[in-house]
């Protein structure tokens, strides 16, 4: 049950970070980031290459990676300046690794130049969200959604069980 609870809470948190990202795009006077429409522009910024290892992007093996991960600890937003092109390999092994550490690991000799590309990208779109209470709000949402969902599930089980 603990697993189910955290799955539900993580899903809610991702939706929250996605919606917050849209709001943040609007705050910056940008169109709400829509991968289908806008990812080509992002890919172009990185010369159609993976922003970490530098490999040319191959169709069907391209991911929209979040520089700052969309999870409870990192609180990356789904927004302009945080979505980057990555090859499938980099995307699947990056997990929770900080993007700078991951880039150094993957880019080897080209790390300095590639790091600059990423920081230029972040600056270009002005991605620097700093609502001071984002951590608090996200942590509360995570706990509350988990608790409410499990209470609801328990209630439904009791209801159905009474009729077995
Ligand atoms: Zn890569």
Instruction: Give the model confidence (pLDDT) of 93-121 as tens digits.
Output: 998 899 999 999 999 899 999 999 999 99
Helix (H) or strand (E) segment spanning residue 41: helix 35-45
Cα of 53 to ligand 1 centre, how many Å?
A: 4
pLDDT per residue as tens digits for the range 42-95: 999 999 999 999 999 999 999 999 999 999 889 999 999 999 999 999 999 998
Is this prediction's pTM over 0.85? Answer: yes
Cα of 110 to ligand 1 centre, how many Å?
A: 13
pLDDT-derived band at 122 (thresholds 50, 70, 90) equals very high
pLDDT-derived band at 3 (thresholds 50, 70, 90) equals confident
Mean pLDDT of the chain: 94
Domain boundaries of the chain, sorted by first residue: 2-161
Cα of 67 to ligand 1 centre, how many Å?
A: 13
Cα of 130 to ligand 1 centre, how many Å?
A: 29
Cα of 57 to ligand 1 centre, how many Å?
A: 8
Q: Which residue in 1, 37, 27, 8 sits closest to 146, CA to CA?
A: 8
Q: Which residue in 163, 151, 52 sits closest to 110, CA to CA?
A: 52
Helix (H) or strand (E) segment spanning residue 21: helix 2-27
CA 142 to chain centre: 16
**DSSP class of 163:** T
Q: Is the pLDDT of residue 131 over 90?
A: no
Read off the pLDDT of each residue in 149-158 and give the average, rounded to a whole number. 93
pLDDT per residue as tens digits for the range 22-38: 999 999 999 999 999 99
CA 138 to CA 72: how far, in whole Å?
Answer: 7
User: Residue 49: helix, strand or coil by DSSP?
Assistant: strand
Both tokens assigned to 60:
């069907």
Q: E strands along the chain, which residues?
A: 62-66, 83-87
Please list all protein residues whose beta carbon sits less than 5 angstroms from ligand 1, which is an ion.
Answer: 50, 52-53, 87, 90
Cα of 51 to ligand 1 centre, how many Å?
A: 7
Cα of 101 to ligand 1 centre, how many Å?
A: 14
In the block, tokens 């150094």 appear at 104
Cα of 54 to ligand 1 centre, how many Å?
A: 6
């Amino acid at each position: 049950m603990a697993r189910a609870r955290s799955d539900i809470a993580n899903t809610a948190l991702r939706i929250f970070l996605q919606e917050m990202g849209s709001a943040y795009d609007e705050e910056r006077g940008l169109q709400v980031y829509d991968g289908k429409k806008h990812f080509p522009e992002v890919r172009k910024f990185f010369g159609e290459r993976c922003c970490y290892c530098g490999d040319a992007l191959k169709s069907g093996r391209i991911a929209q990676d979040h520089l700052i991960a969309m999870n409870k600890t990192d609180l990356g937003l789904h927004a302009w300046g945080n979505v980057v092109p990555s090859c499938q390999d980099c995307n699947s092994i990056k997990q929770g690794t900080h993007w700078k550490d991951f880039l150094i690991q993957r880019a080897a000799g080209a790390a300095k130049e590639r790091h600059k590309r990423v920081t230029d990208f972040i600056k270009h779109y002005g991605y620097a969200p700093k609502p001071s209470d984002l951590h608090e709000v996200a942590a509360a949402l995570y706990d509350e959604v988990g608790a409410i969902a499990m209470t609801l599930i328990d209630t439904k089980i009791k209801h159905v069980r009474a009729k077995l």
